[in-house]
Structure 1
Amino acid sequence: MEEWLVLVNPKAGYRSHAEARTREALRRGGVKATVRVPTTVKAMRDAVDMGAREGRRRFVAVGGDGTINVVVDQLLQHEWNEPPVVGLLPSGSGSDLARTFDIAQNIEEAATTLHGDAHKRVDVGVLEGNWGSRYFINVAEAGLTAAVLHRALTLPRWLGSSKYHLALALTFPRIRLVEMTLQAGDMEFSGTSLLAVFANARYFAGGWHIAPHASTSDGLFDIQVFTASKKDVPRLWWLAKSGSHIDEPQIRTVVADSFSLSVSAPWPVEADGEYFGEGSMRGRIRRGAVLLKTAHP
């Protein structure tokens, strides 16, 4: 079996001791691997590039959604005859992609997925804006939750997923509805909105079931436009925890393989726990771009 290149984000989570736990889990499981511990985003990208130049095809991201987002984005800067295989060992405060695939939320149990040949061919989203072109594998948003994420990044890591609730309370008073135009599939929406969601997978923000019908293998974004007023946000925020917000009349939904979003004012954009920037953007799906290692086919 080809060796894994395991890339550990030592800063993911709070006191996760990710490197030591990863090495021990791999040793106990008899997983053949080279472990590298990049300490910055640039170093993580450089480690991916080095692995690709070495001819590797099997990569493991140890961290949260931000870590796998960086790894996948950098992998897809390279040309592949066959999609690269990506494993995930969660150690971050969110680790929402793992929830979609029923991967355990800890390094030790998740390491068992690195055995065998089971994997799923997974679509990846592409976002193009004033930040350039970036890939993402889980969920992207523009508006309220992107602003919340941007604020949450400044809060102490020991808060875990509860930092998103605190960030909402701190951000909410300054949020304004924005005039936007969205073209996606058979939807042409023009009006005011607090939030637009572009989901490839199902969960975000530490377990919130934002897109219960999303699929990572159908070649489509699950798109939601929140037309609610600010007074409706607390109720919709809690409904989104279970995915029951989706049937509310203030939520416009469509599935599409691409979209174009224009906004009248700077609007924050994030994907998979990483803040991209502000403004209008375009998106599209790249089908079956990676093979995600899972316990079952």
Structure 2
Amino acid sequence: MRALLVVNPKATTTSARSRDVLAGALRSEVDLEMGYTRMRGHAGSLAREAADAGIELVVALGGDGTVNEVVNGLMAVDQKVRPALAVVPGGSTNVFARALGLPREWSEATGVLLQALREGRSRTVGLGLADDRYFTFCAGLGLDAGVVRRVEKARLRGHRSTPLLYMRSTLSEFLFERHRRSMALEVPGEPAEAELASMIIQNTAPWTYIGDRPLNASPDASFDKGLDVLAIRALRVTATARTITQILSLEGDPQGRQVARWHDLAEFTVTSTTPQAFQVDGDYLGEREMVRFSSVPNALRVIC
């Protein structure tokens, strides 16, 4: 089997030595080529080129941003020639890899990947699609995406991506940004739900992690179903604190008049009367006034 290892040299939890160890281990099972990302979006180009060259497996070494780029590159080619995907966690959070059941440490995850290759073990996962951008585990508009924007700005200033940075960013976004009740969600054939202030869209559970702790905004979300949505109607202090506490609990499953929820949606549209911060898989994509979402079942074969 021919394989390409896509490496993000800036991945936060790997080093040149660990990358060499991983490459050596993979070469025991596959005919391996290496590709190093040089800029944002390059991982997607490498994945597309690999498919065009007849490579059968693309392994992404990096965080969720690198994985998202690789996935979008793979989805740009015909399904008949689309390589399988494998992931080795190399970022700070690695939500997609952990949602697949992979260990958090890259070395242990490599062992799982090698065993899966020997046994021919894989699974097929569905994806989410936001306009023309695929996502593996989540998208967000409003508060959620505003936090991602703050974290990205802090990282550009040299700060490390840590749970403390996310918590500080969440508090700042909540206190200092005005999130109006300007969004509406419309499912085909149903009345629109309007006056929404923030929204989390999930393709799997959990939504994200704080260190080792999973956060469950929509605990029933699954790679094998449609998209789940949690919307908050108004970001009032008491009600929002209650919703966040419910998300932080082991069971998740937020409830209350403050919350609107949808499960297993095939498609829907979010519109807003004011521009909203927008993110997919933890990458900030600017502000949007409309996004069309759809579920893409059985999109990718993943070795895990």
Using the alignment, how far apart are the partners of 1:166 and 1:23 within structure 2? 36
- Root-mean-square deviation (Å): 2.0
Please state how far the C-alpha of 1:20 moved relative to its aligned partner: 2.6
Picking from 205, 209, 224, the partner of 1:217 is 224
Q: Is the 8 A contact 2:231 2:260 kept in 1?
A: yes
CA deviation profile, 1:266-291 (whole Å, cap 9, x unmatched): 01111101112322111111211101
Q: Which residue is equivalent to 1:79?
A: 78
In 2, the alpha carbon distance for the partners of 1:159 and 1:126 equals 26
Give the superposition deviation at 1:79.
Answer: 1.3
Within a 5 Å distance, the mapping from 1:145-184 to structure 2 comes to 145-156=144-155, 157-172=159-174, 173-184=176-187
SS at match of 1:108: helix
Contact 1:104 1:110 in 2 (8 A): yes
Offset of residue 18 of structure 1 = 4.0
Q: Does structure 1 retain, via aligned residues, the 8 Å contact 2:92–2:162? A: yes
Q: Distance in 1 between matches of 2:247 and 2:104?
A: 21
Preserved contact between residue 4 and residue 60 of structure 1 (Cα < 8 Å): yes
How has the CA–CA distance of structure 1 residues 186 and 118 changed in structure 2, closer, same or farther, with 3 Å as cutoff? Answer: farther
Of 19, 22, 26, 2:19 maps to 22
* Equivalent pair of 2:137/2:202 in contact (CA under 8 Å): yes
Q: Quick one: distance in 2 between partners of 1:63 and 1:162?
A: 21
CA distance in 2, matches of 1:277, 1:154: 13
SS at match of 1:264: strand
Amino acid at match of 2:195: T
Asked whether the equivalents of residues 217 and 230 of structure 2 are also in contact (C-alpha less than 8 Å), the reply is no
Which of 282, 293, 299 in structure 2 is aligned with 1:273? 282
* Local SS of the residue matching 2:72: helix
**2:44·2:71 contact (CA, 8 Å) conserved in 1?**
no
- Following superposition of structure 1 onto structure 2, how do residues 1-297 of structure 1 map, counting pairs within 5 Å? 2-13=1-12, 16-28=13-25, 30-32=28-30, 33-81=32-80, 83-114=82-113, 115=117, 116-128=119-131, 133-156=132-155, 157-172=159-174, 173-184=176-187, 188-206=191-209, 207-218=214-225, 220-231=226-237, 232-241=239-248, 242-255=250-263, 256-278=265-287, 279-294=289-304
Q: How many pairs are equivalent?
A: 286
- String of CA shifts for 1:34-89, please: whole Å, max 9, x gaps: 22221212332221222122111211111111111111011111112165311111
SS of 1:41's partner is coil
Question: For the Cα contact (< 8 Å) 1:11–1:39, is it kept in 2?
Answer: no
| Pair 1:263–1:195, CA change in 2 (3 A) | same
| Residue ranges of structure 2 left out of the alignment (5+ in a row) | none
CA distance in 1, matches of 2:298, 2:45: 24
Query: Which 4+ residue blocks in structure 1 deviate beyond 6 angstroms?
Result: none
Change (3 A) 1:186 1:239: farther
What 5-or-longer segments of structure 1 have no aligned partner?
none
Closer, same or farther: CA 63–248 of 1 in aligned 2, 3 Å: farther
Which has the higher relative contact order, 1 or 2, with Cα contacts under 8 A spaced 6 or more apart? 1
- Matched letter for residue 164 of structure 1: Y
Q: Quick one: structure 1 residues 125 and 19, their matched pair in 2 at CA, closer, same or farther if it must change by over 3 Å?
A: farther
- Opposite residue 267 of structure 1, the aligned amino acid is Q
CA drift at 1:182 = 0.9
Show CA shifts across 1:159-216 (max 9, x none): 4233211111221121322322211267534332221121111123434223211110
Structure 2 Cα separation of the partners of residues 56 and 197 of structure 1: 35
Secondary structure of the structure 2 residue equivalent to 1:167: helix
Shift of 1:23: 2.4
CA distance in 2, matches of 1:272, 1:45: 14
SS in 2 for 1:154: helix
**d(CA) in 2 for partners of 1:275 and 1:98?**
20
